[in-house]
Amino acid sequence: MKKILHASLLACLLVMLSFSSALAQRTITDQLGRTVTIPDSVSRVVVLQHQTLDIMIQLGTQDKVVGVLEKWDKYLPGAAKTMPDIGSMPTPGGLDTVNMEALLALNPDLVFVTHYAPKDMIQQISDAGIPVVAVSLFDAAGDEAAKLNPDLADAQTAYDKGLRDGVLLIGEICNKQERAARLMQVVDANQAVLKSHLGDIPEAKRVKCYMARNNLHTYGAGKYTSVIMERAGGVNVVAKEITGFKEVTMEDVLRWNPEVVFIQWRHRSAAEELRNNPAWQQVSAIKNGRLYICPEYVKPWGHALPESMALGELWMAKTLYPEKFKDVDLNAMVQSYYNEFYGIPFK
């Protein structure tokens, strides 16, 4: 009889411990400054932001993802290289929309959204009892934290701190703290190589740069696309006149007359258009054959993400000032990074 009682008590205790564990919670602060209560153990995640999905892949937590954003292949074209099943995953929403019926069917522990997701979208998910975590990867206060094109007084510091905070936050949520710390360690080490080789270049001697695409939209002050050019020792010719992502005129481009034009990989079709356009042929960069396509494999090198800060800035600096980086084996650094954090070689 005693053995039966002991067995019953033990079974009850195990059930209670299991129930208690299931209810265990903790609080985190997202990059909108919101305090969010999440389960202590997160195993089912819906990701409605491509930057967060990229970081989760690098942290080795893609096995927790049960749903992804619509058009993920547009925003994160290389994701299938490391998540072969992503093409068949449910897509219960996008950057600014959510299908609540589809979301609830996935029974997620948590949903990641972008910092500029509409407030009513965040509220709708929260009201359903699902924790929502917003990620921006830049540091800003007040209303600026929720803007697609924030007004950042010191963009370089804002992106440095924001990336670190965002990576460590995702690592904390997914219980990958050590991996997140290691990722930032490599970013810091590679940036140290960049700074030590580049040195201080007076603004008057910096290469004048412009980021083009297949129309006359470009990136001004406050965008990481502008920051990456500055960190590589260049000057974004539009930054003093334009903030955020804006359309300019051909007359503007001719007036700025950049010495180098960069194009992101996803807009690479614009390269021939620029080379063959009589108006662009008057621009110094095109005349002198200094049009370069920024690399991309999983995510473009030009977004405020770890691979941009660890590799993209170095690539751009070496492109602008090859003599300063003769002893830097960038290919070896790239292969080391992709093998460690993506588990694949860069091809």
User: Which tokens go with 43?
Assistant: 């195993």
Give the DSSP letter of residue 311: I
Percent of the chain past pLDDT 70, that is, above it, reads 92
pLDDT at 134: 98
pLDDT at 276: 93
Nearest-angstrom CA–CA distance, 163 and 11: 46
Find the mean pLDDT for residues 69-89. Answer: 93
In the predicted model, is pLDDT for residue 247 greater than 80?
Answer: yes
CB of 220 closer than 8 Å to CB of 240: no
CB of 298 closer than 8 Å to CB of 329: no
Give the DSSP letter of residue 60: T
- pLDDT grade, residue 160 (50/70/90)? very high
Q: Which amino acid is at 36?
A: V
Residue with the bigger pLDDT between 212 and 297: it is: 212
Residue 46 φ then ψ, to 5°: -105, 130
The 3-state secondary structure of 194-215 reads: HHHHHCCCCHHHCEEEEEECCC
Residue 85 φ then ψ, to 5°: -95, 5
- pLDDT grade, residue 17 (50/70/90)? very low
- CB-CB neighbours of 275 under 10 Å: 13
In the predicted model, is pLDDT for residue 257 greater than 70?
Answer: yes
pLDDT at 151: 85
Q: Which amino acid is at 338?
A: Y
Nearest-angstrom CA–CA distance, 262 and 291: 6
Find the mean pLDDT for residues 267-271. Answer: 90
Hey, CA dihedral for 153, 315, 47, 90, is it positive or negative?
A: positive
Nearest-angstrom CA–CA distance, 1 and 258: 89
CB of 83 closer than 8 Å to CB of 62: yes
Residue 141 φ then ψ, to 5°: -110, 160
pLDDT at 84: 92
Domains 24-150 and 191-341 share a fold: yes
In the predicted model, is pLDDT for residue 230 greater than 90?
Answer: yes
Closest Cα to residue 308, out of 167, 208, 168? 167
Give the DSSP letter of residue 266: G
Distances in whole angstroms, Cα of residue 87 to Cα of each of 10, 20, 99, 119, 198: 45, 36, 18, 29, 41
Residues ≥6 apart with Cβ < 8 Å to 26: 37, 38, 39, 40
pLDDT at 58: 97
pLDDT digits (tens, 9 = 90+) for 111-158: 999 999 999 999 999 999 999 999 999 999 889 999 988 888 898 999
pLDDT at 20: 44
pLDDT at 328: 97
For residue 20, the Cα-to-chain-centroid distance in whole angstroms is 36
Superfamily of domain 24-150: Nitrogenase molybdenum iron protein domain (3.40.50.1980)
Question: Does the domain spanning 191-341 belong to CATH 3.40.50.1980?
Answer: yes
Biggest CA pair distance of the chain = 96
pLDDT digits (tens, 9 = 90+) for 20-50: 444 699 999 999 999 999 999 999 999 999 9
In the predicted model, is pLDDT for residue 248 greater than 90?
Answer: yes
The 3-state secondary structure of 116-138 reads: CCCHHHHHHHHHCCCCEEEECCC
Nearest-angstrom CA–CA distance, 303 and 293: 14
Distances in whole angstroms, Cα of residue 313 to Cα of each of 127, 191, 198, 317: 41, 8, 11, 6
In the predicted model, is pLDDT for residue 16 greater than 60?
Answer: no
pTM: 0.88
Nearest-angstrom CA–CA distance, 346 and 78: 11
Percent of the chain past pLDDT 90, that is, above it, reads 80
- CB-CB neighbours of 117 under 10 Å: 24
pLDDT digits (tens, 9 = 90+) for 287-337: 999 999 998 866 667 778 999 999 999 999 999 999 999 999 999 999 999
Query: In which order are the strands placed within the sheet that holds 260-264?
Result: 234-236, 207-212, 260-264, 291-294
Q: Which amino acid is at 254?
A: L
User: Which tokens go with 329?
Assistant: 């084996």
Sorted by where each begins, the domain ranges of the chain are: 24-150, 191-341
Averaged pLDDT of the chain: 91
- pLDDT grade, residue 2 (50/70/90)? very low
pLDDT at 19: 47
In the predicted model, is pLDDT for residue 239 greater than 70?
Answer: yes
CB of 71 closer than 8 Å to CB of 47: no
